Every structure is written in C-alpha cells, then in structure tokens.
Structure 1
C-alpha cells in the first residue's frame, strides 16, 4: 500500500507538501528579500550571462562558417563559399533566404519579441512590466540572431546579448520570487553581464545597464550590477582571452589645440546618429507597407534584397569588425569610406526591416569609424599632418555616432576607453560625445531605442499607467477566514468539511493555533483514492503556499495569486503564524468592478 506522504507527493498541485517545500520556501524568501540573497542572485546571473555569451558567440561563428565558409566574410571580398564553389560569389543572394526560412518561423511561433534589435523590448519590460521577460526569449534570440548574423545580416551582437542576459535575469528573479524592484535590478544585471562578457568591457556593461536599462544610478543597484558584470567578464575572458573585441593599431591622440576639429566631428556625428535612426525606421515602414503575406516568411523573402546589397558590398556581411579595423588603420580612401557608411545604413536598416534579429550598437560603431576616418582624411588634405593621426578621428567618431543615436554618453566614453586603453583620447572623446549628444537632443526627443517604442504608442518618459489596484491592500479585498481544521483531524472528517467548503480548501492549524498550511479537496481525495487510511491526520496532506500578508499591496500579491490553485491563498497576520483572511480570484475581480473607471 502506498504511504500517505508518497501519495501526497504525487498530487498534481502547484503547492508542494510541507516537508519538501518549507526549506525551499525559506531559501527562496532569503534570496528574494535579503541583501545577501541579492548578492548570490547577481553572481549567478553574471555567471549565466557569461556562459550565454560564450554559447552565443560560438553560434555566430558556427553559422558564419556554415553559410559563408569563412571566419568573417566581410573581409574576404567577392570570393566563393568553399562549401558551394559552383555558385561563386552569387551564394550571398541565397544565404539570407535560407537562414530566414529557419529563424522566421522560430521567432513568429515562440518569441515575437526576439525580432529586431532587442534593447527597446528590455527597456519596456523594465519600465512597464516589472522586469518580466519570457524565459524562452533567451533561446529564441540566441538562435535567431546567430542565424541572421551568420547568414549575412548586417547587425550587431549587443542587442541580442542584452536581451538574452535580461531574460536570464528575469527568469532567475521569477524563480526566486523577487519583487518588482529587485526584478528590474536582476534584469539589468543580466544585461550588464551579457555586454561585459561579449565585448570584454566590464565597465561598459555596468554603465550600459544603468544608463539605458535602469536609467538610475542608485548605490545598491550599482554594486549588484558591478558584481554581475565582473563575474560575466571573468568567464568571458576565460573563454575568449583578455583582449578587446576589436584589434586597433597603436596611436596617440591629437593635441588639445585640435579640439575644434573633434568638436566639429562630434556635431556631425550627432547628426549622423539621428539620420541613422530615422532611416532605420523609414525602411522598416517601407517593408511593413510592402509586405502582404505571413510574417514568418518575411525574413526569407526579404533576404533576397539583403543578398543583393551583399553582392554589391560584401563588406556589409555580418557585423563587419575587420572592415571597421581597416578603416581605423587608414586603409581606405574617402570615397570608399562614404560608400561603406551609406551601405551600412541601408544594410542594417534592411536587415531589421525584413524581420531580422540583431543589434544596432555595432553598426553605429561601424558608421562612426567610416565617418571619422573620412573626416580625418579630409582634415589631412586641408590642414596637413598637423591634425594628428586619422585613427584618432575614427575612434572618436565611433563613440560619437553611438552617442548621437542612443544618447548614452557615459557608456560611449567608457566603452571607447576600454577599447583603446589610451587615456590621452579622453579629452577629444568626451568633447565629441557630449556635443554629439547635445546635437541629437536638439534635433529630436527620441533615441534609436525609444523611437521604436514611441512608434507603438509607448512613451517611457511619462509615468506608467496607473494600475486599477494602485493603493489597494490585500486587507481591503480579502474574505473572512474559513473555519480551520486542527492538524489531528482525520482524512475522512476533512473530506466532509472540504465537501461543503466554499473554495475547496481549508486552513490547517497546529495544536497551539498557529497556521500550518492548507488542505485541499483534491489532495485529500487523491490520497484516499490511492488507499490512504481514513484515520490518517490531515497534516499529512498539508501544502504550504507562498505567504501573502494583509498589509501587502494587492498589485504585488497578484503574481502569487495567479500561480496559486483556484481555491486562492490564505492571508497571514502580522506575526506570520496566524490567519487574518483569505484572498481569491473572485475577490480581486470584485475590487476591479467596484473601483472607479
């Protein structure tokens, strides 16, 4: 005969029996609310983000080799894919189509939010959804972005890794039962860890998360994000080595007297950043207008247009870091640099417009390098070699165009400093980035990230819509406590009481009157049907729900109520040992009905 406890363990209920659940509840409560628990969660998320970055970069490398036959086709020129030599250079027409046939249905069916560049979705989740991101986003985004980039999509790695790390942070927070404030912080920890591991830039990861995701520099949040970023960076360096994600030539910045030229570059870069944002969404609108068929097929059909661009300018294939490095090294003429700049704007916009998945951070660096190099060469032609090395203008242009597009000046300064390790670049870099930011702000109130949300009718600069439960506590909507069952009550007596109970569940109290948990009609019936003895005490089938307190905000208790059984949840008193009420789905709906419109 199966034991009563054994049968109870098989109850298909979201509430586990007390012997297995009580210690787990205590651990999760500590992680969700304690300062030490937050440190543990930040470290775990950093480690997960570091591992995710390793897998994501491996996927990109693997798919790039598979689709192009090269480690990075952008630097190969018009050459054939050794896997299909008969196609010659024309294979680039087909690779985006083939990849689109794979990731298009994947994104459409499992995670539509994985489409596009990702960062706006994370910003929205933090600002409006309490940091909640579906866990499957991490997997779908990894595969979709790696397929898109590997097949020639002219997008970057930062948007995907931010969304991947953020989804991990949100999932960990949800498992631990973290509140909304901590959930937002854990999402930012995941974003910082992803950036740090992918680009070997721990400081940039921290400031990206705080400046763009949290938009806050609170002391506690800063410490946790640093822990996550450092942990992810250590893991990333173990896999990729302690080298920057770009290989740049040695150089020394120009003299302070040449700040006027860098200032002019900053203003021009700010205009370029805004132009990139506008063209990106203009092309996306054109693609939306032209497309009349199922969305899952859009990346494949649109891949033909992207392939045509790659056929003309193979330098647009993928992220294009080798091309960027050549521009910084001064290997291209002004005309070709401008062609690459225009080509990147079109290729990136088209990749996003056809439903591709990837970031816009790397493309903005690419555009900045092209614009900066062209500006530096032009300055050399006009003023001679006294203007300083062309590479310094390219590097400053990279940070300035990103600042103009994203309006994140601190992140732009930090990441360029981490890239170069050259302190002498700081003065011209800061001057150009600040001017690019001010120029961008003077032209438009939106960034490349917030504009995507505003187009959906979402304005993150305004207060979040008021919840219908705002200002309502659990005590205001809870129902009276039903008559409790003593722990020694037999199963047969409990079955009789549960049969006439309103919600099919009753609280169970110990000999001293303290609350033990709840007994449900389903649990008792399951045990009796499997041969449990009628005289067994009801304490054997008690389940311990997550505690809800009378003074808690109703909005905070909703997540626990949604995850609970239909019978609802008991409400604990201030001591945490007794009951003060019972909250149900019906009670919440009644509160909404009574609230003013």
Structure 2
C-alpha cells in the first residue's frame, strides 16, 4: 500500500501510528539510558540518590543523603569531558530542539543522518544529566523522535512538506511520552515552531502519534501521572495572587532566557578548546551542586517535593533553609546556563519547569504566611508558576499549560493557570524566547 497516495485522514492515521512507535521508542531509549548514566555517576560514584517524580517511582518520603559529596565536582567534570570528546566526533549531535524547529521551517533533514545523530544526542544528554549537569530530557528525546520520524517519512516516499510535518509530529509525540502528557505533546508539535501562531495541520497526526507514544512509554514506566495525582484548588478570592504570579513568572522567564544567551557568549569568548571549556562548566556546576544539590540533573523530582512543601528535603550544609529556598530559582537558572553554555548537551524545558516550580514555592510560602486563608496550600502556586514561567519562556503557553495539568492530573486550577500564563506570555512573546529558530507566525516562515 502506497501510504503517500491515501486520503488525508487515512494517510496520517497510518503515519501517526508509525511515528508514535518511533517517538515512544525514543522516549524509552532516553529514559533507560539516563537511568544507566545516573546510576554510574551519581549513585555509584557520589552515593547520591536524587528524588524522582512520583510517576516514575519517586516517593514523597524522600530523605536527602549524599555519601561522598566531595565527588560531585568529579562526576560533573568527568561527564563534561566525555561529552566534549564525543561531541567533537559528532558535532551535529550537540543541537537542541532548535535543530528540529529550524529544519521544519527549511523543509529539510534535521541532521545529515537523522537516526545516528538523534541517537548520539540521546547518549550525550544522558551523560550530561546523569553526571549532574543541569539540563532536560526533552531535547534528546524530541530530536531522536523527530529524526526517526523524518527517516520513516523519507523511506515511505513522502514529499518535503509531509516529511517536515512528520518530523515535528515525532518531536511533539516524544515530548508527550517522556512527560506522560500526550495532549500537551500534540499541542507542542503545533505551537513550538512559532512565537504567536499554531501549525494547525499538525494537530491530527500529532494526537494520533502522541497517544501511541504515550502508551508505549507507560507500558514500561506505568500509567501514573508524571507528578502523581495532585489534589489542589485555589479560593476564588485568591485570583489577584495569580495575577501577581504571572508578572513574577514573566520576569523570571526573561532572566532565564537572557542568562542562557549570556552564558553561551561568555563561554564562547574564553579562548580555550571545547574540552577545556566544557570541563570548566562541569567544574563550576559541580561546585554549585556541593552547596545546593537540588540543582543537579534535570530536577523534576524536586517539583513533587515543592508541591507538597516537603521542606525538610530542601537542605544545604552551608545555606540556611529560608535563604536556600529564596535563591533556588536563580541558582537553577545559573547552573542550567553554565551547563548548556559550556557545551554540554540537553534541553531547557525540564529545568524551566523546575525553575518555575521553585519560584511558585517561594511565592506560595510567602503568601501563605501573609494570608493563610487565601493561600492555604503552596501546591497551586508551584504548578501554576511552573507552567506560566516556561510557557512564557518557550512561547508555547497553551501546550505547556496542558502538559502540566496532565502531569498532575488536576484541572481545578485552570482559571488561575490561564491568567498567570497569559500575563507571563505577553511579557515575553514580542521579543524573548529560548528557541531561537521559532518564527513569529506562519507568514514569516519561509514556506508560510
């Protein structure tokens, strides 16, 4: 059967299922690779067990314990050196999600060899994050899913338009799988290419692919929501708090974006080779991790602990608790910027969610102290802040909002989420984005 000649609905139902298989495989490949590298570097070498999201086997009873904290910088430097060496051999594989977004607008391959470089990107990112670098799982997962999907479309003889569409569908489906948020993943495929527009034709195939990928990933990891079943709500009179939270998240998003950009320029001016530059970044992040281990790795497990205000888990041998909580959003921004700016490989998505969660924890604790009846719990502040901050930073507020609500399996804070997300997004959309390959809208895309 020639898939390319089938009616639209049939063609993209078949392709969506095939892409979903590829995306689900991509998500599982990265997940298993990350577990291996985390076990080798942080568990065996450092003796540090990071918190995990509840949906991936984590526990709210988490107690931090680091047997050999002085080896944290050793772990991050070794990981950085390995990444620098491998990236020197496979230079294309350093790319983040911008590679897929740019390739989509150019209607071309994301890499010269989509399967090879997508897989190498998975390995490089797993080493970066597993050794303690502050980066996210979405870039390698999305790149591998997008690359495999492009390869499938190419083999089936599809034209350039359909290959490009298959690529962003595969990217979105892989992201939906890795975060157990299939609807949000489908929306990401449509929303991520633009700052102020949607690629509507991606929605149907992306929904099919995301659901298939989600099932494949969850058959191995379980169907529990990524952050568990979060019970939360917000009093109607607390709505002004979320207006204020939106402004705070918009400002934090801008700081995050600018910090990432400045770090890349700073490391680019060091005048040393790639290995030395990446090792320097690894050393600095490791030293930061000595003081604040909460910034090591992607850090999604800390979101659950923030949601339930498990403050005993947020400890530092140097910094008092209240100071640590206040500084964590900034320290996570700095550690992520250094990790990626120095040349290690990973995404900005998951760290962005964690930065937003830390910001929401601070706001929730402050407002609970001042107005306990209007802010009885920090949970809605953590969740809403997470989605609002990175929705603004990525210029994908709708997709990120749906993803976070899926990750918590709770839609009661949807009104608060809409308000905070809209305000934060309006603060960034005209000028700022973490994804530089985004076009303003479909008119500004080369193939409109």
Pairing partner for 2:373 from 385, 388, 409 = 385
Pairing partner for 2:220 from 214, 239, 247 = 239
Aligned counterparts of 1:297 and 1:45: Cα–Cα separation in 2? 39
Structure 2 residue 230 is the aligned partner of structure 1 residue 283: no
Q: In structure 1, what is the equivalent of residue 340 of structure 2? A: 352
The alpha carbon displacement at 1:37 in A equals: 4.1
The alpha carbon displacement at 1:446 in A equals: 2.8
Cα distance change of structure 1 residues 100 and 132 upon mapping to structure 2, 3 Å threshold: closer
- Aligned residues between the structures: 419
RMSD: 2.3
In structure 1, the residue corresponding to 2:413 is in which secondary structure?
helix
Q: In structure 2, what is the equivalent of residue 399 of structure 1? A: 387
The alpha carbon displacement at 1:354 in A equals: 1.2
Cα distance change of structure 1 residues 296 and 404 upon mapping to structure 2, 3 Å threshold: same
Aligned counterparts of 1:72 and 1:318: Cα–Cα separation in 2? 11
- Return 420-429 or 128-137, whichever deviates more: 128-137
Pairing partner for 2:198 from 209, 216, 237 = 216
Structure 2 residue 431 is the aligned partner of structure 1 residue 445: yes
Is the contact between residue 228 and residue 409 of structure 2 (CA under 8 Å) also seen in structure 1?
Answer: no
Aligned counterparts of 1:63 and 1:71: Cα–Cα separation in 2? 13
Cα distance change of structure 1 residues 298 and 158 upon mapping to structure 2, 3 Å threshold: same
Q: In structure 1, what is the equivalent of residue 108 of structure 2? A: 130
The alpha carbon displacement at 1:440 in A equals: 1.9
Cα distance change of structure 1 residues 430 and 464 upon mapping to structure 2, 3 Å threshold: closer
Pairing partner for 1:305 from 284, 288, 292 = 284
Aligned counterparts of 1:403 and 1:328: Cα–Cα separation in 2? 19
Cα distance change of structure 1 residues 460 and 151 upon mapping to structure 2, 3 Å threshold: farther
Is the contact between residue 243 and residue 420 of structure 2 (CA under 8 Å) also seen in structure 1?
Answer: yes
Q: In structure 2, what is the equivalent of residue 47 of structure 1? A: 21
Q: In structure 1, what is the equivalent of residue 157 of structure 2? A: 177
Is the contact between residue 372 and residue 398 of structure 1 (CA under 8 Å) also seen in structure 2?
Answer: yes
Structure-to-structure mapping, 1:33-432, within 5 angstroms? 33-35=5-7, 36-69=10-43, 72-73=49-50, 77=64, 79-80=66-67, 88-110=68-90, 112-115=91-94, 118-133=96-111, 134-135=113-114, 136-213=116-193, 216-219=198-201, 221-247=202-228, 249-251=230-232, 253-293=233-273, 295-332=274-311, 334-432=322-420
Is the contact between residue 360 and residue 386 of structure 2 (CA under 8 Å) also seen in structure 1?
Answer: yes
Aligned counterparts of 1:405 and 1:330: Cα–Cα separation in 2? 25
Structure 2 residue ranges without an equivalent (≥5) = 52-61, 312-320
Aligned counterparts of 2:376 and 2:388: Cα–Cα separation in 1? 18
Hey, which bits of structure 1, 4+ residues long, moved more than 6 A?
Answer: 458-462
The alpha carbon displacement at 1:297 in A equals: 4.8
Aligned counterparts of 2:335 and 2:35: Cα–Cα separation in 1? 20
Is the contact between residue 270 and residue 277 of structure 2 (CA under 8 Å) also seen in structure 1?
Answer: no
Structure 1 residue ranges without an equivalent (≥5) = 1-26, 81-87, 467-597
In structure 2, the residue corresponding to 1:94 is in which secondary structure?
helix
TM-score by length of 2: 0.87
Aligned counterparts of 1:412 and 1:189: Cα–Cα separation in 2? 16
Structure with higher strand content: 1
Aligned counterparts of 1:464 and 1:386: Cα–Cα separation in 2? 45
Cα distance change of structure 1 residues 178 and 326 upon mapping to structure 2, 3 Å threshold: same
In structure 2, the residue corresponding to 1:246 is in which secondary structure?
coil
Aligned counterparts of 1:122 and 1:132: Cα–Cα separation in 2? 5
Q: Deviations over 1:323-381 (max 9, x none)?
A: 22222212335432222111101110010011111111111111111111111111122
Cα distance change of structure 1 residues 299 and 129 upon mapping to structure 2, 3 Å threshold: farther
Aligned counterparts of 1:296 and 1:465: Cα–Cα separation in 2? 36
Aligned counterparts of 2:367 and 2:12: Cα–Cα separation in 1? 52
TM-score by length of 1: 0.66
Aligned counterparts of 1:267 and 1:346: Cα–Cα separation in 2? 21
Aligned counterparts of 1:142 and 1:279: Cα–Cα separation in 2? 25
Aligned counterparts of 2:271 and 2:5: Cα–Cα separation in 1? 48
Aligned counterparts of 1:344 and 1:184: Cα–Cα separation in 2? 34
Q: In structure 2, what is the equivalent of residue 553 of structure 1? A: none
Q: Deviations over 1:122-172 (max 9, x none)?
A: 110101243543322211111000011100011111122111111111111
Larger Rg: 1
Aligned counterparts of 1:307 and 1:205: Cα–Cα separation in 2? 32
The alpha carbon displacement at 1:216 in A equals: 3.4
